[in-house]
Chain A
Amino acid sequence: MSPTASSTRESGISTAVTEAAAHVERTPDAEIAGTSLWKSAWRRLLRNRLAVFGMVMIGLIVTASIVGPPIIRTTTGYTYDSIPAESSLVRSFPPLRAPDGSLSTAHPMGTDSSGRDILARVLLGGRISLMVGIIATLVSLVIGIAYGATAGYLGGHVDDVMMRIVDVLYAIPYMMVVIVLLALFGGQSAIGQLFLLFAALGAVSWLTMARIVRGQVISLKNREFVLAARAGGVSTRKIIQRHLIPNTIGPVIVYATLTVPSVMLQEAFLSFLGLGVQAPLASWGSLAADGIQNIAVFPWQLLFPGITMALTLVSLNFLGDGLRDALDPQTRKT
């Protein structure tokens, strides 16, 4: 990262002033030649405190989900599905308590009704929830961008037909479809259920992406640089790939960042209904579903997965909003 970015982060006193300064900074001189739009967007993003908070939190949660479970396994021996052999331990202990009631760090978040370590389960839940969110978003990116860009650039009847298909799919209450799919084909194996979940959520989340990309492409395709590329003999495919899609990337990134939490929420909803992730695997949604049954007696069973999930969703939304402001500075002017 460039030294300017770190200096502007320190000076977060008056965003307006630093922003004005950043614009002055950008006057072209030989030394700065090559400053991409990305670099200035990155600088604007770093000046947004909520977005930075979001990035840091997401970084922490992702890292914890990845490296957490093996660390817990090696230090305490607990995994997400290790049920204690001794039957007196198969019950829910409060956070930071040993079975005899004394303080203990063995279970920082307590155990669930089967005596499993909640921390290990929350971290595993993080893996699965984030994976569902990210994979479904990637699916929506690939299908949505290709579909939307093609419809938008070709226009005319092709566009009409392609977008009417999207409209029809939109009109289907897809949550019902997903529920039916999961109810019909799910339940065989935990892993199979998981893949079905990825596919079902991915298949419905590209619709909005396709609309966004199409709208962008339509507004871009009449710009002169597209005409210039056509006048230069560049083929239609290359124009879409090289000239149009990179220019839609700003809104696409923003929308993708906001799709991740919405898909995670949908997954939580499905798991909450018992249609999503099956035990012993866990997602934040299924952990919350388990926890809510015992909320009066063992509130920590709901509290920890709930807080973690809320924090992740809020962070992703902060980041998404921050990215939108950073990539499109005009929208901030009131």
Chain B
Amino acid sequence: MTAVTPLLSVRGLTTYFDLEEGVVKAVDGVSFDLERGKTLGIVGESGSGKSVTNLSILRLIPTPPGRIVSGQILFDGKDILTMSDDEIRTIRGRRIAMIFQDPMSSLNPFMRISRQLMEITQLHLGYGREQAHQHAVRMLETVGIPDPSTRVAGYPHEFSGGMRQRVMIAMALSCSPELLIADEPTTALDVTIQAQILELIKKLKEETGTSVILITHDLGVVAGMTDEIVVMYAGKVFERAPTTELFAKPGNPYTKGLLRSVPDPTSEQGRLYQIPGLPPDPAHLPPGCPFAPRCDYVQEICRQEFPPFVSLNERHQSLCHFAAEVYGGQPAGA
């Protein structure tokens, strides 16, 4: 790996939810690193644990029923999981900021945009009213809201979905955080707006040097945005690789399936590929590989034994008994 200390280093993060139907291992031994100024994509289906991973990073898991069982989250060398509540609160919004999936509900409908933007800077940067207000207008301008000095006095219901997501980005970036976690920032938006928002995040990232974690279930979104990708399934990291390599030479049957299910407008194959079956119930995982029931490559060993985390090269790992074979490029048994 690299010699530089990463900005964020997640080691063996394990988060469980104690529900009536049993203990749900939402995140189970997840590890990854993020260097300063880089963008990491976390990809997975619904329920794969990608959102829980990121809520765990800021200790925002609702407890109970959730609890972080073990692991380390080293942010700039300090373990977030051992911090006091006051300490973590100085990191939230100040050094690590988050934007969420649904811009329709992530703004308080009873507060003017200005007050919501000012709240963060007054809290963390100690700005006075006037200064915070000016900063809020500047931030709205940065994220491309037309006529920011008027719109800042508006209420969330006067903004469209795309505009609200811009406001959320403005809010997240108003303290110039070192890390921005974007949890499916474009899922609730329509396609043209999606592109604009992604472009905006990319642009702001380049201008400010903020590191970004981009969570999505859409491989098309991460392709042009990220340096490295983590693929999650059933609470585990299934594959980790630099973006270009992941797309060119995936080392995991699950990743392969995901890549095949991205629609390709240039080929007229008729039917779009889909991975058969459904993700397993995380409260009752099979003893072997959790993907085994849906896998094209499945062998007897997959159902019996949990697969190893194979290093395919220095920066590319895959959780599969047959990672080397898949990486080697055998055709999928379609």
Give the interface of A toward B (CB within 8 A).
Answer: 26, 28, 30, 32-37, 156, 223-225, 227-235, 242-243, 246-247, 249
Contact of A224 among B97, B102, B150 (CB under 8 A): B102
Q: What residues of chain A lie closer than 8 Å to B151, measured between beta carbons?
A: 30, 33
Given contacts A28-B159, A35-B155, contact A242 B111 (CB under 8 A): yes
Task: Please measure, in the bound complex, the distance between the C-alpha atom of A334 and the C-alpha atom of B125, giving whole angstroms.
Answer: 49
B92-A232 in contact (CB<8A): yes
A228-B168 in contact (CB<8A): yes
B158-A234 in contact (CB<8A): no
Given contacts A35-B155, A232-B123, contact A225 B108 (CB under 8 A): yes
Known: A36-B155, A243-B108. 8 other contacts (CB 8 A): A34-B112, A223-B105, A224-B100, A224-B105, A230-B60, A232-B171, A233-B120, A247-B108
Q: What residues of chain B lie closer than 8 Å to A26, measured between beta carbons?
A: 158
Contact of B97 among A35, A232, A235 (CB under 8 A): A232
* Minimal Cβ-Cβ distance residue in A for B147: A30
A233-B90 in contact (CB<8A): yes
User: Closest approach, in angstroms, between the C-beta of A115 and any C-beta of chain B?
Assistant: 55
B11 at the interface (CB under 8 A from A): no
B275 at the interface (CB under 8 A from A): no
B111-A33 in contact (CB<8A): no
B158-A28 in contact (CB<8A): yes
* Minimal Cβ-Cβ distance residue in A for B160: A28
B265 at the interface (CB under 8 A from A): no
Task: Please measure, in the bound complex, the distance between the C-alpha atom of A75 and the C-alpha atom of B120, giving whole angstroms.
Answer: 60
The proximity string for B residues 133-172 relative to A, scoring 1 for CB distances below 8 Å and 0 otherwise, is 0000000000000010011011101110000000010010
Given contacts A33-B158, A225-B108, contact A235 B89 (CB under 8 A): yes
A242-B119 in contact (CB<8A): yes
Contact of A231 among B60, B107, B157 (CB under 8 A): B60
Given contacts A33-B154, A35-B158, contact A233 B124 (CB under 8 A): yes
Q: What residues of chain B lie closer than 8 Å to A227, measured between beta carbons?
A: 60, 100, 106
A232-B120 in contact (CB<8A): yes
A230-B92 in contact (CB<8A): yes
Task: Please measure, in the bound complex, the distance between the C-alpha atom of A33 and the C-alpha atom of B98, giving whole angstroms.
Answer: 27
Q: Which of B105-122 contact A (CB under 8 A)?
A: 105-112, 119-120
A228-B154 in contact (CB<8A): no
* Minimal Cβ-Cβ distance residue in B for A222: B62
Q: What residues of chain A lie closer than 8 Å to B90, measured between beta carbons?
A: 233
Nearest 3 A/B pairs, CB to CB: A232-B93, A233-B92, A233-B93
A156-B64 in contact (CB<8A): yes
Q: What residues of chain A lie closer than 8 Å to B157, measured between beta carbons?
A: 37
Contact of B108 among A32, A34, A229 (CB under 8 A): A229
